[in-house]
Amino acid sequence: MLNKVPEITVYFWIIKILCTTVGESFADYINETLGFGLTNTTLVFSAALIVVLIAQFVVRRYVPPIYWSVVVLISVVGTLLTDNLTDAHGVALWISTTIFTGVLIVVFGVWWLRERTLSIHTIVTTPRESFYWLTVLVTFALGTAAGDWTLELTGWGPGPSVILPAGLLLSVLIAWRFGAGPVLSFWIAFILTRPLGANIGDFLGSSHADGGLGLGTFGTSILFLALILVTVVYLMISKADVTEEVYAHRPGAAYSLETDDSDADLPTRRILVISDRTGATPELLRAIEDAARRGPARFRLVVPNPAQAEIHMRHPDRHEKAEEAERVLEEATPAIERAVGTRVVGSVSIRHDPMDAVEETLHNEPVDEIIVSVAPHGVARWLHQDLPHRLEHFGLPITVA
């Protein structure tokens, strides 16, 4: 499969907030205004979610209308999960918040133990997609419980209630820009968009007497569904949130390890070399020479993009940083070719995280060995969660240079 999740652009966050607003207002409209009741509303939307989820799992790539239909429906169902616990079973909001926090930690833990990554850039297998959608459902339920609990504690009205989640989201953005982990930042922001969107929906739908704009739950739902539709249509036309494949190739080396038939009669090993901005260090060249001495081999050198993850795919910073990585590629590749005496495939990954860069390469072509030359991270290495340990998950020989 191709990646089943869109790139994290500004459009992603716009639609995500719109979806959470719909999740709050549309559920209230069906439940209260039309009088379906909490149980019937939950059954109707759960059935609709199952149907759309089946379609999402059947397609082999990211399809905007299907993907965002799932998000809209899962936002409603996640909201109803918390509402059922609170209204139908009398579970206190602080208890719901605690329960869903625990469930989210368990889901993340199992996901990590199985896949060794929580990145959404390589949702290319059914198990990963299952973990992803389960996580999304739990984050909606958690965001609902935590947001309602906050309002219960503060007693804020519809207008002021928007300020807190908006401020927290801004804090996450600032922290990420100053180097906070992109995966952690993404999932925290993902949770915070739920109370933000819900509070926006309350502000728009509440009466003027209650401090809102008086659009009503139906008017708010229709408005935001229309905005979602317009944005999704734009994305279908512009493809602004579809993953690009490769930023840069070394001239004359745009072939894969699988299709290179320069030594077709010899059994060759396909070796992936992942290197950051350090390039062809003496340690890396020695590791490559050792690999070459063990028999015929084809080498692919992949340099991750130094640009921070989650920047808009067409953001100039991505391409400026890609040019830095391309210079590393152009300097390192000839030295490696001299060391092994054969051509070397060279490319700059669109990904910042070396793990994502490796996974996308493995997804596109077979690899028999991996040579890693990236700056070590002390804490991750101490916890055995650095890149070499995480790559052991694939069952391939790993050499650290």
- Residue 261: is its pLDDT beyond 50? no
Q: Which two tokens stand for residue 179?
A: 């180097």
How many angstroms separate the CA atoms of 208 and 202, rounded? 11
Question: How many of the other CB atoms lie within 10 Å of CB of 312?
Answer: 16
pLDDT at residue 391 in the model: 87
In a domain, 2, yes or no: no
Number of domains in the chain: 2
Tell me the residue range of the domain where 348 lies: 248-400
How many angstroms separate the CA atoms of 270 and 364, rounded? 13
- Pair 197, 269 in one domain: no
The more confidently predicted of residues 157 and 47 is: 47
Does the pTM surpass 0.85? The reply is no
- Pair 79, 129 in one domain: yes
How many angstroms separate the CA atoms of 66 and 70, rounded? 6
Torsion on CA atoms 357, 361, 362, 366, rounded to nearest 10: -160
- Pair 225, 294 in one domain: no
- Pair 259, 342 in one domain: yes
- Residue 393: is its pLDDT beyond 80? yes
- Residue 52: is its pLDDT beyond 90? yes
- Residue 331: is its pLDDT beyond 60? yes
pLDDT at residue 203 in the model: 83
How many angstroms separate the CA atoms of 153 and 149, rounded? 6
pLDDT in tens, 163-190: 888 999 999 989 887 877 788 888 999 8
